[in-house]
Amino acid sequence: MKPLILLLAIQCTPLPAAVPNQTIFHYCAETGVPLYIAHRLLISESDNRNDRNNPNGWGYWQLNPKHRKEFSERYNGSKEYNEFNETESTKIALRYLADLHERTGTWRKALYAYKSGPNVKRISKRIKKSVDRILEGV
């Protein structure tokens, strides 16, 4: 898909979360995360955004609450954040994804680590399928 057509498609696709497109544009530009990956990841992750019983993650980007302190220190200048705040969670999630990309070398591996945890040795079929949908057409 051509970049301009892809950008128009992304701008016209409503996000299931209340994250404004300009917030995603800003943090994609800051981090180098491709816009289509950020947009598709948000759609993928935000399905269960309000499920506080989900032990694996909360909020729009499904940030794992077990890693709150690390995320705050590494990606938010040691300030606490609210995973239900669209700007704060977008900043943390995209900085984290960019860091995973730097560590793993590919967007596919970075997305596997984002969805499974950075130290997971085995990727489930469900996560592989989800990452395939995010990277579809690339």
The predicted structure's pLDDT at residue 63? 84
Residue 33 in tokens: 């995360």
The tokens 């900043």 sit on which residue? 91
The list of the chain residues with pLDDT below 50 reads: 1-6, 8-12, 14, 16-17, 51, 55
The predicted structure's pLDDT at residue 60? 78
Q: Model pTM? A: 0.79
The predicted structure's pLDDT at residue 27? 94
Residues 6+ apart with CB under 8 A from 49: 17, 58, 59, 60, 62, 84
The predicted structure's pLDDT at residue 6? 47
Domains and CATH numbers, the chain: 18-135 (1.10.530.10)
d(CA 84, CA 103): 27
